[in-house]
Amino acid sequence: MIRETDWASRPVAIVVAPTGAEVTREDNPAVPYTPREIADEVIAAHAAGAAIAHLHVREPDGAPSARPELFAEAIELIRGGCDIITMVSTGGAIGMSVDERAAGLRAAPEMAGIETGSTNFGEELFPTTPAETRAIARAAGELGIALEVEAFELSHVEAALAFAVDGTLPEPLRFNLVLGVPGALAATHRNLAMLASAVPDACTWGVTAIGRHQRRLLALGALMGATCLRTGFEDGVYVERGRLAASNAELVARTAADCAVLGRSVATPAQAREMLNI
């Protein structure tokens, strides 16, 4: 955590989430599906300033996938092109079993996201029981994979702190504060302040904001001292009102430019590893 008086003293790590599980080429024709397409988008995003890639994989027709070989192929291709930090989702897609959600761990990423509670997700339920959090944390721990808590609600931050106390989650905790999922916390400055203030000083936190409020919420996060700011097609397909982003790299470049205006430099992957204690 950056002390409030030192808010501009450390660089900010831009996270690119290139494909997610919900957006499709009907939303934006540039959404990558195959491991090669995902890797090319990530390598270009790294060149534009991204330090971390948050990965989901897809079947060739775009359906969200839990096949470990697709994660492994994407990560191998990414590592062949740049030194970005690879992070797999264990949120997966609505309806996946916990085993399917954990499939990416077998591809030896540096990091994985982890859910510490349940929420509505649009019209669906996105459930994660305490037993499922423990199972994913155990699998990641055995493989030496660093975890980031995906917090969609205040209760997810509080549950993660309890999981640190009982030893389920290793410290220091890393939080991604996720705003704007319909059915969960809205993307407002009050909600960001509320979540960030629940994170203890010893932890790091970043911001994800879904949809049209993303740019404003990431800027607020930059000013509040966030360690990470996430962008990419998983979170929104427009670069400005009415204009689709041509690529994930365009979204990363916009975020990097906004950080420069706000007085935050952009972290290299090596700097991000140091800040996140990986």
C-alpha span between 119 and 10 (Å, rounded): 33
Question: Least CB distance from residue 4 to ligand KMH, whole Å?
Answer: 28
Residue 15 pairs in a beta bridge with: 52, 230
Which listed option, Zn ion, ligand KMH, none, makes contact with residue 93 (CB within 5 to 8 Å by class)? ligand KMH
Among 89, 168, 191, 247, binds Zn ion (CB under 5 A): 89
C-alpha span between 51 and 268 (Å, rounded): 6
Q: What does the binding site for ligand KMH look like in residue numbers (CB under 6 A)? A: 20-22, 89, 91, 93-94, 113, 121, 126, 150
C-alpha span between 17 and 230 (Å, rounded): 7
Question: Least CB distance from residue 68 to ligand KMH, whole Å?
Answer: 16
Question: CB-side exposure of 173: number of CA atoms within 13 Å?
Answer: 28
- With beta carbons less than 8 A apart as the criterion, state whether 71 and 103 touch: yes
Letters for 33-72 (x = contact with Zn ion by CB under 5 A, - = none) are ----------------------------------------
C-alpha span between 189 and 138 (Å, rounded): 34
Q: Of the two residues 24 and 265, which places its CB atom closer to ligand KMH in the complex? A: 24
Which listed option, ligand KMH, Zn ion, none, makes contact with residue 126 (CB within 5 to 8 Å by class)? ligand KMH
Q: Which stretch binds Zn ion (CB under 5 A): 83-91, 197-205, 237-245, 255-263?
A: 83-91
SS3 48: helix
In the complex, the residues that contact Zn ion under the rule CB under 5 A are 89
